[in-house]
A and B are shown apart, each in its own frame.
Chain A
Amino acid sequence: MFSGAEIAQLLTGLGITHVVTVPDSTIGQWDAALSSASGLQVIRVCREGEAWGVAGGLFFGGKRPLVLIQCTGLFESGDALRNIVHDWKLPILSMIGYRSYLNQSTLPGDTSLVFTEPILDAWKIPYKLITEPSQLALVREHYQSCIGNGTPGCALIAEGKA
């Protein structure tokens, strides 16, 4: 869908300072580009729930973090997300890989497709579903809007094709 260079350029252009992440086979391909991007630090965590707490601490400290995880990590990290985003009202941005959206050949009947969007709705995270490479500008616009409004926001990146 996107190259690491495209994502790194997008994030640095938005003023993102830290990417707090657990990789999957798609977003993990961006690791080298994100790690080498000037002004961007990659914070690798052990489990996705940690990512929201670390991002919250970074935000308290004056930084602009982004959580980069797969949708399965979203499922894992609900309580941490709830506390940081809704209890403490910290407008954390996220980019979430949508497993199997474009191709279910590896995992036929993947229930990620059943639960991901309803869970984002349940957690009241404004998101944009991104299914085409041409939609990179939409990701930028969504994040810019969220930053401007001081709200959380997510780009849900369809996975399954190169």
Chain B
Amino acid sequence: MTPRMPVTDAVAVVHRSRGDGDVVISSMGNAREWMALGPLHARDLVLVPSAMGHATSIGLGLALAQPDRRVFAMSGDGSLLMNLGTLVTISAHAPKNLVVLVFDNGVYEVTGAQPTPGTPAGRVNGDAVDFVAIARACGIQSVFYWESLDAWERGFSDVLDATGPTVVILAVEPVTGRPGPKSPGPAKARADALLAALDSE
């Protein structure tokens, strides 16, 4: 199996590098890691509870609504597979300010690390789905893939410099034995706070 970076460290690269005006949408396992890294930012959307796979759709809408603000939409590979058409929709509308980050661990982590149908362990032929090729074939022009943390840290500035929409595939280690993300508070109150934070500039 290809070496994978620790998901906590991979998420931390975004956490310490995001701009103050940026919106970061986290979901599923990456939301758990995001919340563990410190207090939430006013323009964080921790998508817990979620409809699995729709962080990218919400990110698209936000990016179209506020084109001067960078939007990071963090997804897992299982989530992306649940809403794969989102890549076509994103490329169709082509918001330059949207960055989709896919933390590819090959499993449905929060339910106990069962393999997805996209990973060798979940496929009768033992082959793997190529998310980079999928993203490109869906019309995404700026696509990045990293397996090592060092490369991802070095490449982050390339992501910011790329013409979006941008898709970044990060090969991360699955985390086992930890619970899924817990909601940081009532969703309605958090929605109202985010609306205010996005209306304030």
Contacts and interface: CB of A to CB of B under 8 A. Distances in A.
Contact of A88 (B59, B92, B191): B191
Nearest to B62: A57
Given A46-B85, A54-B89, A62-B66, A83 B54 contact: yes
Interface in A25-47: 41, 43-47
A63 B56 CA distance: 18
B51 A84 contact: yes
B20 interface: no
Interface residues of A, number: 32
Given A60-B191, A62-B66, A62-B198, A83 B57 contact: no
Contact of A60 (B49, B56, B85, B198): B198
Contacts of B187: 87-89
Given A60-B58, A83-B50, A83-B51, 5 more contacts: A50-B83, A54-B64, A57-B59, A58-B61, A79-B52
Interface of B: 45, 49-66, 83, 85-86, 88-89, 92-93, 187-188, 191, 194-195, 198-199
Interface of A: 18, 20, 41, 43-47, 49-50, 52-63, 65, 79-80, 82-84, 87-90
